[in-house]
Amino acid sequence: MKTWLTKIGGGEFKICRLQDAPPGGEGALDNPERIVQYLLPMLAQSIAYRPDTENLIVVHLSTRRKPIGFEVISNGTLDTLLVHPREVFKSAIVANSAAIVLAHNHPSGDPTPSDADVKVTRDLIRAGQLLKIEVLDHLILGRATTAQPKGHSSLRELGCWAV
């Protein structure tokens, strides 16, 4: 959700923008491959996504796991992101999300999670439990190679999910 402050006629207004999900036809985003198929074309069109730095993305989902939208929460540096639960869940609350999927890219192309990725994910899972907004997965986006043919990693599939 991008925020701009605008003054009109002496009054101050806060304008927020949340990326909209494409209407209709979108199936449930219930596995990492479907999430990546949904997210990659959307990120290519996003004005907030910067592939040369790490970006944290939140995909908002309905109770039936259909996309409501997504937001680029944070743009970091080549290898670091600042993440705080407040920013992650703010748009989820506004969008009335039943669940979210976290994603971030590794500009190096290697989708292997770091220890910090696992720790932050566990912290966000706990925050989501307090808010009753389920964190379904955390995907790390990279490039497909012979060693990593998918080009992404799912922390849930890797067994990094125990809180």
- Tell me which amino acid residue 153 is: S
pTM of the model: 0.84
Distance (Å, rounded) from C-alpha 23 to C-alpha 80?
A: 34
| Domain range summary for the chain, segments of one domain joined by + | 24-154
Per-residue confidence of the chain (163 residues) as pLDDT tens digits? 455 566 666 666 555 555 555 544 468 999 999 999 999 999 998 899 999 999 999 999 999 999 999 999 988 787 778 889 999 999 999 999 999 999 999 999 999 999 999 999 999 999 999 999 999 999 999 998 888 889 999 999 998 876 6
In 31-84, alpha helices (H): 32-45
Q: Which fold has domain 24-154?
A: Cytidine Deaminase; domain 2 (3.40.140)
